[in-house]
Structure 1
Amino acid sequence: MLDVTSDRDTQSQYVNITSDSFNADELDTIFSGVSPAIDHGDEDVLTVELADDTSYETSFSEIDEGTYDFNFDVTDSQSSDNASVEVVDSRLDYSIENVESVEQGAVSNITLDVGQGSSAAITLGSTADGYATHAAISDIEDEQIVVQFDTNAVHTNPWSVHEDSNASIADADTSVYKSDSFTADKPFPAYNWDLSIGDEMSNDDPKTNEDYSLNNEHDRGRLVVNDRAEIGDVTTHTAPASDSLENLDDFEDTTVTETSTIAKGDHLIMNAQDFGAEGLVQEISDSDAANLETALAEEGIYVEISEQTSGPINDPTVWNSSVGTNTDNAATEANALSLTGITVDEYSGDLIFVVETPAGLETGNSYDVAFNVTTDNTYVSNEDETVSKESELSFEDREVSWDDISSLPATEDATATGTTTVAPGTELPAEADSPNDQGGFVQVADAVVTAGEDGNNQFAAEFDLSDEATGVTFDLYVEDTQDSTVNDELKGVELVEANADEPEPFEYGVSTSPSEPVKGDDVTGTITAENPNDDTMSENVTFTFDGTTKFDETVELEGGASDTIVDGATLLENASAGDYEWELTADGEVVADGTLTVEDPDKGDGSDGSDGSDGSDGSDGDDGSDGSDGSDGDDGSDGSDGDDGEDGDDSDDGTPGFGVGVALVALLGAAMLALRRQN
C-alpha cells in the first residue's frame, strides 16, 4: 500500500519513482494501483501522477524476500521522500519444533512454529491405533506457541495452550475418538504416538466420520509416552506453627525442614518425591470433592499414622485420610486425618501436602507413618503394583533451653545460644535483663531456630551489649510464642571484656612402664596434666583402658601448674600378648587415644632371627634380613643387631606401644608421651 499526503495547494502532482533494485517496468508492476505511467523513455524512472491524500495498492507477489529502498521526487519542485519495504514470505508454513517425552499421567509440552498463521490444527494418534484426537488452535499471535497434551485427561479433552503462549483452544474445537476397549478407567498407553500439524482439518466432525486427516499436512512428529515410574521416597518435614501453609507462596515463604521429629503444634508436611503425573495432580486439585483427602482417596491415595505400641489388649490406634470414602481402608470419623495444601502451580513432580496432626497423638511417643497408593488408582492395575512407603515419626513436647552460658562479651553482636524441639524458622523472643543493682539494662532479640540432628534444633539470640559496663551480671530469658509455659531462664550471666581470650585446654602426657611390654609383664600407666593458662582452671578427665575406666575425676590446676594425675596405676598384671585400646577424654572430648601392644617373645620379633653363636661380628655382613647370623663367630660387640627388623605384624602402628605418637617416643628411648589437645 502506497499512502500519499501533501501540503501543496494542488490536488495532484507528478512524481518520479526510482530504486536501485528495479527498472521502470518492474516499478510499474509493483505500483500497479497507480494511474497509468507517463512514457518518457527512461528505463530506470517510473513517472506517475499521484493524487493528494490517497492510498494506492502495491504488489510484491513476484518479488523475492528482502529489503528494498524507493525514492520519490516531485517533478516540478525540490520536494522528495524515500521509503524502505521488507518483503516476506506470506505463505503459511507450520512445523513441530519440539515434543516433550513424558510418563503416563504427565502433561507434554509441544512447541509449534506457525509462522504468520493465526490458526492451525493438530492431531494425535489414528483410528487404527484405537485412539485419535484433534484440536483447532485459534487467535495465534506469536510465531511460536506451546500447546499441552494431558495424558491423564485423554478420555475427555487433553488439549490446552501453555499459559505463556498467545493462542486459544476452545472445548468445541477438540474431539476424541476411542475404541470400545479403551474404557474411562484405563490409563493412556505407553506408546510412540504420531502427531501431525496443518492449517485445518479435512472435515468438520472428525470423531463421527472417523477421519482425522488434515487438508494440508505441513509436518509430523511423535509424542513418546513412557510407563509410569516408581514413586520415590516419601519424606516428612516440619514448618513453624506460626506460619500459614495454604498455597504455594506460603510454602516458599516459610522454612520447611526434613525431619522425623515433630514438636507438638508445628506443621507436619509429607512429600512424595518423584510422584510425577502432573495431569493426575491437576485432576485431584480441580476435583469437586468436598476436601483434598476425599479427592486423593478417590484415586486410591491415602496417608496413615499408626501407634507403635498399644498395650497387652487393645489394638494400635490408626488414623488415616480415607475416612468417608468407599475404599477398603476407610477410617472411622474419629480417626480421620485431614490433608491440605496441595497445589499444581509450578508443580515440580513432588506431591506435597500438610497433614493435620490428630489430637490423639501423645508426646514422647513414636508412630509409623505410611503413604499408600492402592488399586483404585488409575495407574495401579494389580496388587503387585500397589505402593506403601513407610517411615517413623517422633512426636515431642515443645521445649526451649539455654546452653550452659557463664558469660557473654560486651560486643554489639553478643550471641547467646540454646537448644529446642520446635521447628527451624521459628522466632523465639529473648531478653537479656540486668537488675538495677548490676547493669540496669534490658535487651530484647528474636532468636531464630536452625536445624539440628534428630530434632535437637538450635536457636541463637544476638544482643547489642557494646555500651554496657563489664563485670555486671544479667539474666537470659527465652519463651515460645505458641505456649508461654514453654520457657527457660538463665541467671547470673557475667558481661566480660570483648577481647577476653578463650582459655587454652590442658596439656596431657601419657606413658606406660615398661614402654614396650612383653607377655607376662605387669604394666602400669602414668598421666600428667599441665594448665597453660594464667588462671586456675579445671577439666573433667576420664581415662579408659581396654574398656575399663581407670580414672574419672575433675582435675583443677592453678595457672601454669602441672601435676601427675595418674601415678603408676596398674593397667595389666601378668599381661597376655595382644593389643589393648585406650582413650583419654577431657570435658567429654577425646584428647588422646591409641593402642598398647604386648609382644610374645616366644614368637620372635619377626625379622630379628636368632643371634647365632654370638661369635665375632666380622663385617657384620650386610644388614639384609638380619635373620640367623650364621657363623658370626665370637660375640665381639654382638653386632648392631641390624636394623632390628620391622617387628612383623605387631600392630597397625608397626611398633609396640600406644600407637604412632607413643611409638615415636619409644623409639627415642623416652617413656613419656606429651599430647596436646587442639582448639
Structure 2
Amino acid sequence: MTKKNTDYRTKGQAVFLAALMVLSMVAVPMAFAGGAAAAADDVSSVDVDDVKAGASADAQEVTFDIEFENDVEDSDTIEFDLSAAVDAGAVPFAADASTDNDNITVSSVDIDEDNVSAEIDYNGEDGENSAEVTLTLTHDLSDVDPALGVPVDFSNDDNSITGSTTFDVVGVDIGQTRAYQGQFITTDQADGDEEIELIRDFDDDNDFIDVTNADDGFAFFATDDLETSETYSFVNASGDEIDNIQITANRFSADWNDDSVDNQGETTTSVELDANRGTYDVHVTAEGLDNDDLDDIFGGNSEAFQTEDGILLESVNDGDFDADFDDIDAGDYEFEFDMTDTVADASSTITVEDGEDADVEFVEDTVDVAQGDIAEIDVTVEGGQETATLIIGEFDEDGYQAIIEIDDIDESEFTIEFNTYLAGTDGEGDIVSSEDAEVTLVNEDQTEQNDIDGILDVDDYDMYLNSGLFQDDYTIGDDDDVEDFIDDADEVGALFVNDRNVGGMNLWTASADNAGDIEDADDIADAIDAGSLTETDTIAFGDALVHQIELDGIGGFIAATEEEDLDEALLSLIQDEEVVDIVVEQTDETRQANRQAKTLNTSTLEASDLEVVYEGGELFVIFPELPTDEDNWDRERTPADGDEFTVDLEVTDQRILEVGDSQDTPFNTIDTDDEDALMIGSEFGVADRDAEFDVEDIDGDDYVTVEAEEDQEVTGTSNIAPGSEFNVRLNGEGDARFVKTVNDVVVQPDGTFSATFDFSDESVDDEFRAQIRQGSFDERPSADGLVVDADVEETETEEETETPEETEEPTETEEPETEEPETEEPETEAPADDDGDDETGDDTPGFGVIVALVALIGAAMLAVRRQN
C-alpha cells in the first residue's frame, strides 16, 4: 500500500465532486478499444460513495475488484479525466490507496488539476492474482451545489480499457423528517424545468422564502439562513406541495479532556466531541499548526484524512477522539472544530508543554526467585512511556529465551510476573502477566521458548529492557534482530532462578471468627502480633486449624491452574489435577482396636472449607473450622475428643519434582508411594471445647471468690483458641438477688481469661453461680461462687509498725538480738524493706507485721556492729 498527498492551493468550487468522478470511473461499463491486451484481465464490483454538497471537507471511498493474468508479473495505470469537474471548480488535493492482497499493490497515486492516475502492480507469484482496491480522495465542497449524474471519464495507459460513469452530489431530500441548518434540501420530483417555491408554514401562513428553476426535475435550496424549528415546503408551479421538512439547529461541542499535554513522554490525550445527531464529519484546523502537524496529531485514527488546510475526522460518533502531540512545538493552540455539512462549529484550546524524554528502567537490576515460583520484575516508567520490550535469557547460552512486549502501561511503576514453572510450555497458561500493563510473550510458539526439557533450570538469566515494542523494529524468529535488540538495550539485569527451599510444618490455631478475617500474609502477621493466632498441637473442635508450611517454588505451580482465588487453585490441584493432597490420618496410638484409622477425605472439600495464603516462601492452609461432617471423612468416621492425627502435604507433580517421563507439560502425577514425592508433615490432637473457673478451697468446698468491693476479678482457663470471646455471668442464689454479666471476655494467648465485676453493693457470704455463656462449649462451664471478707489487715499493719507496743510482741523469738539497748538508733534504714511489706501484705493477711519486725531487728543488729 502506498499513500501520496498532493496539496493544491487553488480554491475549488466542486473539489469533492472531482474526487467522486475519479473513483466512479472505475465503476462504469467498460468499452474495450484497440487490439492490445490489457495487463488487468478484469475490473469489476465497483462501489462508489456519494458526497455531500456544501461540505467544508469530505472523503469519498471507491472500491473495486481487479484481476491480473496468472503468473505474469505486470502492472497497469488507470487515469481518471477530471476536466469536466475541474471546470466546475472541483479539484481533489489528496488520495489514499490500498489493497487486500500482498501480491497486488497500488504503487503510486498522482494528482494534477485534470487527472488522477493510480498505478497497480502484480508480482506474478503463485497465489491470489485478484484483489479489492480502495481509493479515498478528500475534497473541499463548500462551494459545490447539489448535482445528479456528474460525468467522469477514465482509461488505462494504453487506452485498451476506457469507460465513463457518474456520481451524485447530495443534500437532504425534502421528504426526510428534518435537515440540520446548513445542509442543502433537495427534490427530484419536479416537472421538467418548472419553478419551485420554498414556502414556510404551507397551508397556514404560506410565508414565501425563495424560488428556483428545476433542472430536469431536480431542485434544491440552501438552509444556512433558514430559521430552525420551522417547517418548509417545496411547492410546484401548480401550487401543490411536493413535500416538507423541518430545519433543526445542530448542537455541537468539542472540548479537550486535558488542559495541557506534553510533547515528549506522555504525549497522548483526547478531545470529546458531542452533537445531537448520530454520525457526522468534523474538519479540524488550528492556528500555528500546518497540515503535516495536524496529520501527526490525529493521523493515528483510522478515519482521519488530510485536507488542504487541516484534518478530516470522518464518521465520528459522540465520545473521545485520540490525539498525539509527540514533537509538536510547545505553545497554546486554539483548535477549530467544524461540522462539515452544517453551520455548527466549536473551538477548544490546549497547552503543549515541553515534556521529559520517555524511558523505562529496572527498579532492581537483579531479581531472585525460587525454581517454580513467579519472578516479580519491577519496572519504572519516565516521561509517560507506554510501551517496552523485555527479553529474558540468551538462547545460545541458556537454551531458553522469552521475548515480552509490554503495552498500555498506565502506572509510573509496574510489575511483570514471570512464571518459572510454566516457562517453556506452549499455550499452557499465562507465562507472563501484569496488573498495570498489557504483556505478551510474542515468541511463545518459537523453539527458543517452548522447546526446553521440563521446568526452567536453576541458573542465572540475563534480562534486557528497552522502550518500544519489539515487533515495531524487529522480526520474531530473526536471530540477528534479537542480537541487535540486546546490543541496543537501555537496561541490562539478571534473573537468578535458585534451588527450592523445603522446610517443615508448624500448626497454629485461632478462633473461627478471627480466622475468617485472614486473607493475606499481613493479616497473619497482625493476628500473631495480637495474640489471636498462636502455635499449638491440640485443636478444640470449632476452632481454626492453620498449617504453616515452609515451601517456596510453588507459586507458579498454583497460578498455572488459572484460578483467581488460591483456595480454588489448591482445590483444583487436589481434586482435578490430583498432583497435591493434604493427608490427615489418625495415629496408631489413638486408633480404636480393630478399626481403621480416621482419614480426611479431601475430595469432598469446598472452597468455603479453607483459606490459602502463599507469600515469601510460606504456604498457609487455613481450615476456619476443622471439618467434622461425616461426608468429609472416609467411612463417615469423624474425629472425637482425644484423637491425634498426622497431617502431610504431598506434592506429586512430575514437572515441579523434575522426575518422570511427562515433565514437558503441567500436572502429571507420579505414584504417591514414589520416594521422589515431596512430603511435609506434623501432628496434632483434637479436644472438646472446655473451660473452668479458678476456685479457692473454703471449708472443703471449691468456690469462685470475690470480695464486697469494686474491681473484682473472676478468672479461669480454657482450651479454645486465644482471641475467642464469650460472656461470663454471675447469678445470685438464695437471698442474693443479682445478675452480673461481662460480655466479650477474650481468651489470652496463655489460655487464661478474666472478667471484672463490681461487688461493692453486695454482702459478705452472698452465694452465686458463675457461668460461661456462648463460646460453643460442649457443656456450659460453671462453678459456685462466694463473697468473702475484704482484706483490710494490710492497712492495720502499716499503723502498728509505728507503735512500740506492737514491735515488742514478737521479740521473744529473737531474744539474743533484741537485748541490745541501741535498737532505735538505726531506724532510718528500715524503709529499705517497705516494698516487701506491701507485697506480702496484699497476699497473706497478718504476715506483713512479722516481716516489718524482722526488718527492724536486723537494722538494730547492723547498728551494734557498726558501733563495735
Q: Partners in 1 of 2:691 and 2:778 — Cα distance?
A: 11
1:487-498 matches, cutoff 5 A: 487-494=781-788, 496=790
Q: Displacement of 1:238 after TM fit?
A: 1.6
Aligned positions of 1:603-614 closer than 5 A: none
Q: Which residue of 2 aligns with 1:96?
A: 362
SS in 2 for 1:105: coil
Instruction: Say yes or no: does 1:234 pair with 2:505.
Output: yes
For residues 155-170 of structure 1, the aligned pairs below 5 Å read 155=425, 156=427, 160=432, 162-163=434-435, 165=436, 167-169=437-439
CA gap 1:339/1:144 in 2 versus in 1, 3 angstroms = closer
| 1:403 is aligned to 2:699 | no
Give, in angstroms, the shift of residue 461 of structure 1: 1.9
Kindly provide the amino acid, as one letter, of the partner of residue 643 in structure 2.
N
- 1:458 has 2:752 as partner: yes
Q: Report the counterpart of residue 366 of structure 1 in structure 2.
A: 644
Distance in 2 between residues matched to 1:119 and 1:502, nearest whole Å: 85
The CA distance in 2 between the partners of 1:422 and 1:290, in whole Å, is: 28
Distance 2:353 2:716 in 1: 72
Deviation, 1:489, is 2.0
Cα gap change, 1:372 to 1:174, in 2 (>3 Å) = closer
Shift of 1:368: 2.7
Partner of 1:299: 579
1:351 aligns with 2:619: yes
| CA displacement at 1:220 relative to structure 2 | 3.7
2:717 equivalent to 1:419 = yes
Partners of 2:504 and 2:549 within 8 A in 1 = yes
* In 2: Cα distance, 1:381 partner to 1:339 partner: 33
Equivalent positions of 1:263-302 (< 5 A) are 263-284=540-561, 286=563, 291-292=571-572, 294=574, 298-302=578-582
User: How many residues get paired?
Assistant: 445
1:561–1:119 distance in 2 versus 1, CA, 3 Å: closer
The counterpart of 1:117, out of the listed 371, 382, 385, is 385
Give the letter aligned to residue 218 of structure 1.
A
Change in CA separation of 1:339 and 1:348 when aligned onto 2, cut-off 3 Å: farther
8 Å Cα contact 2:420-2:455 kept in structure 1: no
- The match for 1:446 among 744, 758, 763 is 744
Q: Distance in 1 between matches of 2:505 and 2:729?
A: 40
After superposition, what is the alpha-carbon deviation per residue over 1:220-239, rounded to whole angstroms, capped at 9, x for unaligned? 42332333332222111122
CA distance in 1, matches of 2:850, 2:362: 85
Q: 1:464 to 1:213 in 2, by over 3 A?
A: farther
- Distance in 1 (CA, whole Å) between partners of 2:550 and 2:505 is 6
Q: Give the 3 Å change call, closer, same or farther, for CA 269–463 of structure 1 in structure 2.
A: same
Quick check: 1:150 aligned with 2:406? Answer: no
Q: CA deviation at 1:377?
A: 6.0
Flag the 1:222–1:475 CA change in 2: closer, same or farther, 3 A: same
Structural mapping, 1:131-280, within 5 Å: 131-154=400-423, 155=425, 156=427, 160=432, 162-163=434-435, 165=436, 167-169=437-439, 177-178=447-448, 182-183=452-453, 185-202=454-471, 213=482, 217-241=488-512, 245=516, 248=519, 255-280=532-557
1:482 aligns with 2:749: no
1:432 aligns with 2:701: no
Larger radius of gyration: 2
Question: Which residue of 2 is the match for residue 659 of structure 1?
Answer: none
For the 8 Å contact 2:393–2:463, the answer to whether it is kept is yes
Give 1:496 shift.
3.6
CA contact (8 A) 2:690 2:718 kept: yes
How far the C-alpha of 1:403 sits from its partner, in A, is 0.6
* Alignment partners' CA distance in 1, 2:726 and 2:520: 23
* 1:419-439 deviations in Å (ceiling 9; x for gaps): 111111111221122236236
The answer to whether the Cα contact below 8 Å between 2:511 and 2:722 also exists between their aligned partners in 1 is: yes
Distance 1:313 1:342, change over 3 A: closer
Q: Is the 8 A contact 2:729 2:773 kept in 1?
A: no
Question: In the alignment, residue 461 of structure 2 is paired with which amino acid?
Answer: N
Long gaps (5+) in structure 2 = 1-286, 291-309, 311-324, 333-349, 628-632, 661-673, 697-703, 799-809, 811-836, 852-868
| Displacement of 1:272 | 0.4
- Post-superposition Cα deviations, 1:225-282, rounded to whole Å, max 9, x if no partner, equal 3333322221111222455638617966973221001112322221103435322233
Correspondence for 2:375 among 108, 118, 131? 108
Q: Given the superposition, is the C-alpha separation of residues 285 and 411 from structure 1 closer, same or farther in structure 2, using an over 3 Å criterion?
A: farther
1:499 CA displacement: 10
CA contact (8 A) 1:428 1:481 kept: yes
Instruction: State the distance in 2 between where 1:413 and 1:500 align.
Output: 18
Deviation at 1:351, TM superposition (A): 0.9
Q: C-alpha separation between the residues in 2 aligned to 1:312 and 1:343?
A: 33
What is the DSSP-based 3-state SS (H/G/I as helix, E as strand, rest coil) of the residue aligned with 2:713? Answer: strand
Q: Which whole-Å CA distance do the structure 2 matches of 1:176 and 1:230 have between them?
A: 32
Return 299-308 or 394-403, whichever deviates more: 299-308
Is the Cα–Cα contact under 8 Å of residues 402 and 489 in structure 1 kept in the other structure?
yes
Post-superposition shift, 1:360? Answer: 2.8
Structure 1: gaps (5+ residues): 1-30, 35-53, 70-82, 324-332, 508-531, 540-555, 563-679
Give the letter aligned to residue 694 of structure 2: D
- After TM superposition, give the deviation of residue 494 of structure 1 in Å: 3.3
Structure 1 contact 200–214 (Cα < 8 Å) conserved? no
- Give the match for residue 588 of structure 2: 308
Q: Residue 315 and residue 423 in structure 1: after superposition, are their counterparts in 2 closer, same or farther (change >3 A)?
A: same
Distance 1:364 1:218 in 2: 65
- The CA deviation at 1:401 is 0.5
In structure 2, the CA distance between the partners of 1:444 and 1:180, relative to structure 1 (3 Å rule), is closer
Query: Does structure 2 conserve the Cα–Cα contact (< 8 Å) formed by 1:276 and 1:350?
Result: no
Matches within 5 A, 1:615-654: none
Any idea what the Cα deviations from partners look like across 1:369-424, whole Å, max 9, x if unmatched?
Answer: 33333464613548666443333312222211101255324555432111111111
What is the CA RMSD across the aligned residues, in angstroms? 5.5
SS at match of 1:450: coil
Q: TM-score, normalised by structure 2?
A: 0.42
Letter in 2 for 1:131: Y
- One-letter amino acid of the structure 2 residue matched with residue 379 of structure 1: L
- State how far apart, in whole Å, the 2-side matches of 1:181 and 1:493 are: 82
| CA 1:289–1:434: 2 relative to 1, 3 Å | closer
Larger helix share, 1 or 2: 2
Aligned counterpart, 2:599: 319
| Conserved 8 A contact 1:537-1:557 | no
2:463 is matched by which residue type in structure 1? D
Corresponding position of 1:525 = none
Contact 2:767 2:784 in 1 (8 A): no
Q: Hey, what's the Cα distance between the residues in 1 that align with 2:764 and 2:446?
A: 82
Query: Quick one: structure 1 residues 448 and 97, their matched pair in 2 at CA, closer, same or farther if it must change by over 3 Å?
Result: closer
8 Å contact kept, 2:612–2:622: no
Report the Cα offset of residue 559 of structure 1. Answer: 9.9
User: Relative to structure 1, is the Cα distance of residues 247 and 310 closer, same or farther in structure 2, using a 3 angstrom cutoff?
Assistant: closer
Distance of aligned partners of 1:130 and 1:121 in 2 relative to their CA distance in 1, 3 Å threshold:
same
- The letter of the residue matching 1:130 is G
Alignment of 1:13-162 (within 5 A): 87-90=354-357, 92-98=358-364, 99-114=366-381, 115-128=383-396, 129-154=398-423, 155=425, 156=427, 160=432, 162=434
3-state SS, counterpart of residue 559 of structure 2: helix
Counterpart of 1:112 in 2: which secondary structure?
A: strand
Of 656, 660, 678, 1:378 maps to 656
Q: Is the CA contact (8 Å cut-off) linking 2:797 and 2:846 kept in structure 1?
A: no
Report SS of the residue matched to 1:437. Answer: coil
- Paired with 2:656 and 2:512, the residues of 1 have a C-alpha distance of 35
Instruction: Work out the CA distance in 2 between the residues paired with 1:466 and 1:132.
Output: 80
**Alignment check: 8 A CA contact 1:408 1:494 kept:** yes
Counterparts in 2 of 1:118 and 1:488: CA distance versus 1, 3 Å: same
Letter in 2 for 1:107: I
Query: 8 Å contact 1:439–1:469 — kept in the other structure?
Result: no
